[in-house]
Chain A
């Protein structure tokens, strides 16, 4: 644990959030609050709603009921609230989703220029700073396809950081990577955590969870089943479903 952050203000709060895909109840009464600087690891079996949950936070998915607040901004479905929230929330996807027709540098400068109105010069300076931070500045002029998976994911992290978000959401950032590239991405994320970034990470990398998380949250069937500090979570899980799940993933790793 890097930061218990108990005295920090709440940055994200979800109250009784309900989400349906048609008749399918994907999120059931989710309540969660995340303090500034907190690192949350979200885990659970496939289809349990982990991606859906974090995608609701930056309005990539809409919710049917409940309340989401990010940095005092209530997400009410209006363009204004969505814009305000997306400016504060960065996201990293499993499949990187870099823009393939742009260089690494262009990938990083686009949003600051278009969304924040940053000048080209300033946007490049910003991009170089964050590319340096994810240790990939030497590849700035290359196209995504010329990079390895691990390098692409680090560029994706830099691209999100260029918007200088207050929170970073990670949706299984290492699951599409070859095993030998997982570490470079996790190390980048650990670095980010050390610098005090507020993070919600969907991941099954339990080593990462142990090292970085303030809280581990276990989801199943659209519900938060259990949440605890990593020590407690791994040593003495309360619920049977958590035990079964931990047994399965620890057997795999």
Chain B
């Protein structure tokens, strides 16, 4: 058994850096495309609603692991030379945009109809109606679910190891193999995930409780 020293810890931190970066990229990319998906999903155009419903269905109905594989090898098949980082970022963005799109579709539809009617009666056009009136309320409604998904996404980044990505979990596995101290190493890895995810979950459920109280 080897010791867990500064080097090992530094290696884990390198892994953590990629975990956090992946989650951030997935969340930002997924956020941008997710808004688009949600808007198309609630639009008047039937084709747009159908296509986005299909997109959401596919990404919610298949494992993230498989999505990573398909994008990773699919991009290679297209003959485009990309590194693992880009491929994984694309996969997480697609995955997150489907989930966030669906969450936000629900919250857009949860904004009372009277809000759209009042905006229409005032003569506000689609862009202003969405940007100024509907989306601010929808995003607030969606906060607990959005944070919940972010937590899932952070934990889900561990799957990127499968295509050779050394994020936190994979880094832990490597250190564990070197030091033969799996329990200690994965204890540390688990604690790191917990330190990041628990406050988020806590904030999310706190928000949910406060909103439930305000709605009463």
Chain A interfacial positions (CB closer than 8 Å to B): 58-60, 83, 86-87, 89-91, 93, 95, 97-101, 110-111, 114-115, 156, 159-160, 163
Q: Collect the chain B residues with CB atoms within 8 Å of residue A98's CB.
A: 118
Asked if B124 and A93 make an inter-chain contact with CB atoms under 8 angstroms apart, the answer reads no
Chain A neighbourhood of B140, CB < 8 A: 101
Q: Which of B70-78, B129-137, B154-162, B193-201 contacts A (4 or more CB under 8 A)?
A: B129-137
Contact A110 B137 (CB under 8 A): no
Across the interface, do A60 and B121 meet the contact criterion of CB distance under 8 Å? yes
Total B residues in contact with A, Cβ cutoff 8 Å: 17
Assembled-state Cα–Cα distance A163/B122 (Å):
7
Given the interface pairs A101-B136, A101-B140, the reply to whether A86 lies near B120 with Cβ below 8 Å is yes
Chain A contacts for B114, CB-based, 8 A: 93, 95, 97
Other-chain contact of B118, A59, A89, A93, A101 (Cβ < 8 Å): A93
- The distance in angstroms between the C-alpha atoms of A90 and B121, with both chains bound, is 7
What are 29 inter-chain pairs, A to B, with CB distance below 8 A? A58-B120, A58-B121, A59-B120, A60-B117, A60-B120, A60-B121, A86-B120, A86-B122, A87-B123, A89-B121, A91-B118, A91-B121, A93-B117, A93-B118, A95-B114, A97-B112, A97-B114, A98-B118, A99-B115, A99-B118, A101-B137, A110-B124, A110-B128, A111-B122, A111-B124, A114-B132, A115-B122, A159-B122, A160-B121
**Nearest chain-B residue to A87 (Cβ)?**
B123
In the assembled complex, the Cα of A160 lies from the Cα of B124 at a distance in Å of: 12
Cβ distance B121 to chain A, nearest Cβ, rounded Å: 4
Known: A86-B121, A91-B121, A160-B122. 18 other contacts (CB 8 A): A60-B117, A60-B121, A86-B120, A86-B122, A97-B115, A99-B115, A99-B137, A101-B136, A101-B137, A110-B122, A111-B124, A114-B132, A115-B122, A115-B123, A115-B124, A159-B122, A160-B121, A163-B123
List A contacts of B112 (CB < 8 A). Answer: 97
With a cutoff of 8 Å between Cβ atoms, the chain A residues found around residue B117 in the complex are 60, 93, 97
**Cα distance A59–B122 when bound, in Å?**
11
How distant is B92 from chain A, measured CB to nearest CB, in Å? 31
Chain B residue contacts of A91, Cβ below 8 A: 118, 121
